[in-house]
Chain A
């Protein structure tokens, strides 16, 4: 597994990426169709449909950070350039995802709670996650040599892993304005099956889009390094 070079991984992902983007477009169109024709929630009305963007991006922003943290650990322990490059190409996607979560969440919050923003545990820890993503990107691009940048940024990613269970379980550990999770909870999901199916279709659509996006960023980084290396060798 650790014998995979960035080059082979990037070639593999670029070769499958056209199927990934086709699948993503198909799933996102199906979910858009489902979202438009779903029956409204009995209590919130039409505003609950924000959930079908908010929840998938929230899951993704957490799981992207988990993958980033694990690949940073692998990269630091085994000195694997592939793992470092995976972490490097994931962090802008995670930042965009967490910004989408915060924006859609505050729009929904204004319609439902009556406030765009409150400082409860879930919202604050999610904001901290977005700032860790931002810090990770800033660290990656503030060194002259990318090996040093990868080292510093992966330490931040490993420390940032502590925040993940806080984001996930903040609604269970403390009293918050944000509601508890509706899908991963004791006693099964607290939403009807048509909502649940739409949520999962939308999630897999955005997930495939994330993979496509990731493979493109990864490819660009690998090709750029190849180019720089060839310029150095020619000089």
Chain B
């Protein structure tokens, strides 16, 4: 690795003219405002003699994501460098999982997941190079679009759910399935993050975030709502939580071996969200009393639609 003589904005990775290094003329990012933590790749590093490294924007226990520029393909990319801690058995195991995850993702080529260009072993352990996707998140889109109706929410998020389902089938989990983690690509929404799962279950927190994402799309801005209940409060009104039914529905959809249930899940969620926010009344079966009364009176009821219970 060596330092790159060319000038790039370390945030948007656009080439910038000499003398504008401090403040990017395209995105306005101030280079002096960025101070990478110890152990991270320094800005302007040329990684693997190919990737011009920019600012790190996400780091967790497994990998760090950097904005980067692919000098060969001449495109902006996201560089994920594995940082699995001290060398040893655990490091080796999680490095293998990291590589397996990105290899699977590259092979699967899912519509609602950012394209994985490559993943390789390297001196640092391993890295993956993914498609650069805009900074526009679902959260931003929600604030722009406002509340979506069912069809709108479905067309926006159904591919994401299907992708999650496919990932889950491959024992891959998404770290944080929330409106802030889903990004806009052309006119669709894509997931950008994944990791291997030891089990085949979404963690409770993931389920909660997943639900919140849908409720946010259908009920307005994705303002983070303090979670006051174990089940989570998903309402922007901060006083209602989704019924247990919704949680059960999600859990059942992703833990069962049934056919794609995404459509059903979303429809169900939408409905549960409506009920949770008090917009819709829980549907009820036609009251048996009326039906049986009609039978006793010898009247054939051809149809009954009612709010009576």
Q: Tell me, yes or no, whether A binds B.
A: no
